Chain A
Amino acid sequence: MNWEAAITLFGSVALIFFIGLTASRKETVGKSFMQDYYLGSRSLGGFVLAMTMTATYGSASSFIGGPGVAYNEGLGWVLLSVTQVATGYFTLMILGKKFAIVTRQYKATTLIDFLKERYQSKLVVLLSAISIVVFLFSAMAAQWIGGGRLIESLTGLSYTSALFIFVVTVLIYVTFGGFRAVTLTDAIQGSIMFIGTLVLLIAVIIAGGGISEIMADLQAENPNLITPFGSDGSLTAPYVSSYWVLVGVGVVALPQIAVRAMSYKNTRSFHLALMIGTIVVGVIMLNMHLIGVFARPILPGIEVGDRVMPLIALEVLPPWLAGIVLAAPLAAIMSTVDSLLLIVSSTIVKDVYMNYIKPDASRQRVQRISMGITALLGIFVFLMAVNPPDLIIWLNLFAIGGLEAVFIWPIVMGLYWEKGNKYGATASMIVGIISYILFQSFYPEPLGMHAVVTSILLAFAAYVSFSWGMGLKVVEH
């Protein structure tokens, strides 16, 4: 076990959480508990907004899995990953002001609130709640596995104890802190990621003898590593381009991202977030994945992709610094988990319990239930992650694309097309999810692209045709 690295790693994480909790304590009185716990009373400033978007989106897949894949695929995978720079500006520009204005008018605090007021349909609410709980729950379990593995490979603890440490910290934090604490730590975590990956990249370049040297080594090993096509030439242009939809523009439809687009204070913070967000996402994505590629000549023969980040950090940095830098991926996973946990809990408490079971619950009761559900969910996910059932792993593969196929048109068309109605939204959600699951299972790359592209197109057709067809009938009545 590497004590020095472990101490600085846990030290940094503890410090981040301490700051988040202290800062969130101050302002919880007086405002609606719902608005505050789940939305931070819509008070995010520009820097915090940009960082929380980045940290929420940059999950275990980008920070642990991503560099591992880049290690195996070469520069082609970095090319694929920079498509995510679009999330830095596109998401906020599309949802942007309209979402902020409309959700304030609706007094909506969750994505489902918005859909409920916009479409006035129980079916839409129910379909949304089910998609969110099922997909995000499994996405969460996958993140926890990633977090456990990172602590495991750094400290040498068993996987179960590593996972336990990870889960307890996250749970204490989310249960008591709520949205504001989560976004505040996101801001710190985003900054660590930004600086940490930069430090690690520079150290890796020095250890590899300069960029030209590294490129020559890579070319000597396998020339494909420095082409856009991946180590065996299988990353085709249409396939890589389709990631512009999956991890670029489609991200507008992820509930954990959408909720952030309604939580900012004013347009000044919104404009600032656009400028900061683009550069931060771009730099982090480039750094993380370049580290993976550059690590290859320095540490050849790493078999498990997930171990590339921890191993290269311990190789090229002094242990104490490696601990701090690795706090970045750990922080990324934690903040993703934090926000997923909050979304799932708000879906259950707010969108289902308060809408349909007990609308007149007192503030105290709601508060107790919110915290209780959040904690309960956490424990449940822990049990899943200790011994992950196959179903969870399978569902997680569908999580991001599935959510995008379900929500993209009900959100975007709901905002920008007056004639869109509940028939269109329902049809679009059902067509989106069913076509996505069918494509993924039986025909994963239609037209050489990721299945999400086709499903989103089909969902669009369903939204428009059903809104038109059924909408006319309603007007006649």
Chain B
Amino acid sequence: MITIHERGGYTLNNHQASEKDFRFKIANREALLGIGLVLFNFIWWFAFAYGLGGKDPSEYTYVFGLPAWFFYSCLLGVIVMSVLVFFVVKRFFTDVSFDEEEYEDQ
């Protein structure tokens, strides 16, 4: 592939170079974490909204005055995601340098 990207595109398109750049490994892992989080978020949102909200409104239970489906799916969902993102970033995200010279020194 390197034939068509001789300029500029080097690092991305040269397989070996991108494997060597340890920062890409970190970036890839963090992108996967992002996908994991969004899947979790979707399932949480969907299960509570349509699991609890699918019945007749007269049978709804309420939490803090809000219908239970809404409370768990939306309100609690936002809180849970904020906490989860906080935890994931603190625990699994790594600081890397964007400064090229500094990076080559390492």
User: Which residues of chain A have a CB within 8 Å of any CB of chain B?
Assistant: 75, 78-79, 82-83, 85-86, 88-90, 93-94, 96-98, 100-102, 104-106, 117-120, 210-212, 214-215, 219, 223-224, 226-229, 237, 241, 244, 248-249, 266-268, 271, 274-275, 278-279, 282-283, 286, 414-416, 418-419, 421-422, 471, 474-475, 477
Provide the bound-state CA to CA distance between A89 and B87, in Å: 13
List 29 A–B pairs whose Cβ atoms lie within 8 Å, in order of A's numbering.
Answer: A78-B70, A78-B74, A82-B78, A93-B31, A96-B27, A96-B31, A98-B24, A100-B98, A105-B11, A117-B9, A118-B8, A118-B12, A214-B65, A219-B57, A226-B57, A226-B67, A228-B49, A228-B54, A228-B70, A267-B95, A267-B97, A275-B82, A275-B89, A279-B78, A282-B79, A283-B78, A415-B12, A421-B1, A475-B3
Residues of A within 8 A of B78 (CB): 82, 85, 279, 282-283, 286
Closest Cβ–Cβ distance, residue B67 to chain A (whole Å) = 5
Docked-complex contact B24 and A101, CB < 8 angstroms: yes
Residues of A within 8 A of B34 (CB): 89-90, 93-94, 96
Residues of A within 8 A of B8 (CB): 105-106, 117-118, 120
Residues of A within 8 A of B54 (CB): 228
Closest Cβ–Cβ distance, residue B103 to chain A (whole Å) = 9
User: Which residues of chain B have a CB within 8 Å of any CB of chain A?
Assistant: 1, 3-9, 11-15, 18, 21, 23-24, 26-28, 30-31, 33-35, 37-38, 41-42, 45-46, 49-50, 53-54, 56-58, 60, 62, 64-67, 69-70, 73-75, 77-79, 81-82, 85-86, 89, 93-98, 100
Provide the bound-state CA to CA distance between A89 and B78, in Å: 12
Closest Cβ–Cβ distance, residue A117 to chain B (whole Å) = 4
Closest Cβ–Cβ distance, residue A458 to chain B (whole Å) = 21
Residues of A within 8 A of B18 (CB): 418
Docked-complex contact A96 and B30, CB < 8 angstroms: yes
Mostly, the B contact residues are helix
Instruction: Give the residue name and chain of the B residue nearest to A422 (CB).
Output: B4
Docked-complex contact B30 and A418, CB < 8 angstroms: no
Residues of A within 8 A of B70 (CB): 75, 78-79, 226, 228
- Among candidates A78, A97, A106, A471, residue contacting B30 with C-beta atoms closer than 8 Å: A97
Provide the bound-state CA to CA distance between A257 and B33, in Å: 20
Residues of B within 8 A of A211 (CB): 64-66
Provide the bound-state CA to CA distance between A215 and B28, in Å: 45
Provide the bound-state CA to CA distance between A228 and B47, in Å: 12
Instruction: Give the residue name and chain of the A residue nearest to B65 (CB).
Output: A211
Most chain B CB inside 10 Å of its own CB: which residue of A105, A286, A418? A418
Docked-complex contact B65 and A241, CB < 8 angstroms: no
Residues of B within 8 A of A418 (CB): 1, 12-15, 18
